Amino acid sequence: MEKISAVDYESEMGQSYVDYAMSVITERALPDVRDGLKPVQRRILYSLSELTSSDTPHRKCARIVGDTMGKYHPHGDSSIYEGLVNLAQNWKLPIPLVDPHGNFGDVSGSGAAAMRYTEARISKYTEEACMKDLKFCKEDFIPNFDGTEMEPTYLPFQVPNLLVSGSMGIAVGMATNIPTHNLGEVIDGTIAYLENPDITTDELLDIIKGPDFATGGIINTSRENLLSIYETGLGRLRVRGKVEIRDIGHGRKSICVTELPYTMINGTEKFLNTVAELVRNRELPQVVDIADRGGKDGECLAIDVKKGTTDEEIENIINILYKKAGLEDTYGVNINCINNRKPEVMGLRKILKLYTDFKTDIYNKKYTKLLAEQQDVKEIKEGLLEAVDVIDLIIEILRGSKTIAMAKKCLMTGETEGIKFRFKGSEMDAKELRFTEKQTDAILAMRLSKLIGLEIEALKKELAEAERLIKKYTKLLGSKAEMRRQMIADMEELKKFAKPRMTVIQDLGEIKVKKAEEKPVEISVLLDRFYYLKCIDRNIYDKNVEQIQKDYRFSVNTMTDDRLIAFTDKGFAYVIKISDLVKKQAKKQSGGKGSSIFGKLSDKGIQIFEFCEMESDENVIFIDALSCIIKSNLVFVTDNGRAKRTEGAQFDVTRKKVAAVKVGDVPVMVKPAEENDFVAARSEKGFFVRVKVGDISIQGKGAGGVKLIKLADDDKLTEAEVGATTDASIGEVSFSRIKLCKPGNKGTKLRV
Distance (Å, rounded) from C-alpha 81 to C-alpha 44?
9
Question: Are 347 and 204 spatial neighbours (Cβ–Cβ below 8 Å)?
Answer: no
Q: Work out the burial of residue 698: count CB atoms within 10 Å of its CB; fewer than 13 is exposed, 13-18 middle, 19 or more buried.
A: exposed
Q: Which amino acid is at 152?
A: P
**DSSP annotation string for 491-510:** HHHGGGG-----SEEE----
CA 543 – CA 526 distance, rounded (Å): 15
Backbone angles phi, psi at 630, to 5 degrees: -65, -25
Which residues have C-beta within 8 Å of that of residue 320, sequence separation ≥ 6? 278, 283, 284, 513
Please give the Cα distance from 240 to 328 (Å, whole number).
Answer: 4
Catalytic residue (choose from 9, 20, 117, 331):
117
What letter represents residue 531's amino acid? Y
With 0-12 CB in 10 A as exposed, 13-18 as middle and 19+ as buried, what is 78?
exposed
Phi-psi label, residue 644: left if phi above 0, alpha if psi -120 to 50, beta otherwise: beta
Q: What is the CA radius of gyration of the chain?
A: 45
Q: What are phi and psi of 238, to 5 degrees?
A: -100, 120
Write the burial class of residue 261 (CB in 10 Å: 0-12 exposed, 13-18 middle, 19+ buried). buried
Backbone angles phi, psi at 443, to 5 degrees: -65, -45
Q: In what order do the strands lie in the sheet with 572-577?
A: 620-625, 563-568, 572-577, 657-659
Q: Contact 574/565 with Cβ under 8 angstroms?
A: yes
541 is catalytic: no
Which are the catalytic amino acids? 117
